[in-house]
Structure 1
Amino acid sequence: MFELSSEQIGGWVGGFILPFFRIAGLLMTMPIIGTQLVPMRVRIYLSLAFTLVIYPNLPAAQPLDAINVGAVFLIAKEILIGVMLGFVLQLFFHAFVIAGQILATQMGFGFASMVDPTNGVSVAVIGQFYTMMVTLLFLAMNGHLVTFEIMAESFVTMPVGTGLTTNHFWNIATSLGWVLAAGLLLVLPAITALLVVNIAFGVMTRAAPQLNIFSIGFPLTLVMGFVIIWISLSDFLSHYQAMVTDCLQLLRELVQAK
């Protein structure tokens, strides 16, 4: 009769279940896959498939007593590592949402908003446009494959059961400021151009007070805003490449990968 010892069961649990929770933590929180557009059951199946693919190449794990209370803390650590990586990717995508929101406010187009189907919140139309562009670029340039590669390398650099240090949380905290700065740099030329347009309207109002600045300035600001967005799209790819390089490098630093 085929029998399994507790050591064998513990080895399977430690070598498969814990990596599964780390991968599931990433897929549940990362953009595109971790959104409301992908059902929870599909994300679980993807996590299971990814774990099965990398399981033969994982380092040997120590046997784990699945009934022990310490196993719960180990599972929480693995989930936290995956959520940490997914959170950094979310910050990268939200940098473009912030940029679109700032630009829409400056050009007087902030009233035009729509419900983001991925997050279920109301965002500016321009921010949603930038989100769609960065999503297509991220998939076209295999950013999701690079993320999965970093996740696979994390099991070598941060073996199962490794805890997080204060450096990991410090890097995430500093990345919050990086997101705001990246969003501002992305739309800074457009904001400057719109500021010049508003100054020109102010000079026109002083020179000809009989002009109704609200009836003339508002539509012209919208038109100039769209023209500026169209011109600024020529540098969108270069900004994206610089930002995604910094984001993926931050992911590698968090898991101590090369």
Structure 2
Amino acid sequence: MIEALARLDLGSEVSRFFLVLLRAGGLVVFCPILGADILPTRIRVGLAASLALVMLPLAPSLFAPPSDVVSWTIVAVREMAVGLGLGFAARALFAGIEGAAGLVAGHSGFAIASMVDPLTGDQGAATVLFQNLMATALFLAANLHHVFLAGLRDSYQWLPPALSLPSFAHLDQAVSLLGTRLFTVTVELAAPALVVTFAVDLVLVLVGRALPQIQILTVGYPAKMAAGIVALALLASATGSAISWIGRTFSSDGAALVAALAGR
């Protein structure tokens, strides 16, 4: 054991740790669960350091750490870009869920009630907050946060550390694919609920045309609220059914972003 410690190059290992920390820190910055604004900065830094310690044995050991400031800057930009790309892919998935909840809230009248989202610190509709918290609970219950860790591990195969800047030539295609995924998630989750609210609006319009003497606003508001509750139930059911698929798409989206940074 003493001989093994004697052969250990402590300076090289510390340099490798900081390189891994940059990539893990980039993931934590954008990650919707690990990087939630409700968590104090110290805890988020501790999470990034813990991830770096776990990933350190998996990081390539053949890459010699930089020896000068310019090389350190180049490698640091590369590692941070990879981590931020993975975190951005994860954030986009939750943005799709929040977008679906926002559509339902806007069409059902629940958007009037607003609260502070503890995960993001932003002001938003209460239904969006509920949907976000439910999606987070389902994500953790299904152990899909392990997908984030697996993506960070696999990123060293997709784009290992090297003394070169990331390539941005194909990044627009990867971001476009991610935007398409976000739009698809939003529409597919919100579609059943939007059908219900649209049907209620259509019925209210027909009733108002057929019976002008009825105070349609007085009758319509309770009907819209009831339809909104049904729409929220449909949205929650759709999210619960699709959460596994949404989590699995992170691997392909993250791989596409990292591959784009690699110039492929």
TM-score (norm 1): 0.88
Relative to structure 1, is the Cα distance of residues 47 and 66 closer, same or farther in structure 2, using a 3 angstrom cutoff?
Answer: farther
CA RMSD, 1 decimal? 2.0
Residues 83/93 of structure 1: CA separation in 2 closer, same or farther (3 Å cut):
same
SS of alignment partner, residue 114 of structure 1: strand
Would you say the 8 A contact 1:14–1:63 is kept in 2?
no
Match of 1:243 among 235, 240, 246: 246
Check whether the contact 1:26–1:83 (CA below 8 A) recurs between aligned residues.
yes
Residue by residue, what CA displacement relative to the aligned partner does 1:41-100 show, whole Å, maximum 9, x if unpaired?
A: 122222222222232332224333454222112112111110111111111011111111
Aligned length: 249
Counterpart of 2:71, as a letter, is: G
Letter in 2 for 1:62: F
Q: Deviations over 1:227-251 (max 9, x none)?
A: 2322454333222233222233212
Q: Summarize the alignment of residues 17-96 of structure 1 with structure 2, pairs less than 5 Å apart.
A: 17-96=18-97
Which runs of no fewer than 5 residues in structure 1 stay unpaired? 1-7
CA distance in 2, matches of 1:118, 1:210: 47
Q: Does structure 1 retain, via aligned residues, the 8 Å contact 2:58–2:153? A: no
Alignment of 1:198 with 2:212, yes or no, is no
Give the share of equivalent positions with the same residue, in percent: 27
Question: Partners in 2 of 1:219 and 1:27 — Cα distance?
Answer: 43
Q: Is the 8 A contact 1:29 1:87 kept in 2?
A: yes
Separation in 2 of the partners of 1:252 and 1:202? 48
Deviates more, 1:162-171 or 1:12-21: 162-171
TM-score (norm 2): 0.86
Contact kept, 8 Å, 2:98 with 2:128, in 1: the verdict is: yes
Quickly say closer, same or farther: Cα 1:55–1:231, change in 2 above 3 A. closer
Question: Which runs of structure 2 are paired with 1:72-221 in the superposition (5 Å)?
Answer: 72-161=73-162, 163-165=165-167, 166-221=169-224
- Aligned residue type for 1:34: G
Query: Which is worse superposed, 203-212 or 225-234?
Result: 225-234
Q: CA deviation at 1:40?
A: 1.4
**For the structure 1 residues 107 and 175, does the alpha-carbon distance in structure 2 shift closer, same or farther, using more than 3 Å as the test?**
same
Cα distance between partner residues in 2 of 1:17 and 1:169: 29
Question: 2:142·2:244 contact (CA, 8 Å) conserved in 1?
Answer: no
Q: 1:23·1:151 contact (CA, 8 Å) conserved in 2?
A: yes
Change (3 A) 1:186 1:193: same
**Please, which moves more after superposition, 84-93 or 34-43?**
34-43
Asked if the contact 1:12–1:63 (Cα under 8 Å) also holds between the matched residues in 2, the reply is no
Q: Distance in 2 between matches of 1:230 and 1:112?
A: 18
Q: Which amino acid aligns with 1:193?
A: V
Deviation for aligned residue 1:158: 1.4
SS at match of 2:166: coil
State the Cα distance separating 1:10 from its structure 2 match: 6.2
- Displacement of 1:138 in angstroms is 1.0
Residue pair 1:97, 1:130 contacting (<8 A) in 2 also: yes
Deviating more after overlay: 61-70 vs 190-199? 61-70
Q: Deviation at 1:192?
A: 1.5
Question: How much does 1:135 deviate?
Answer: 0.3
Amino acid at match of 1:33: L
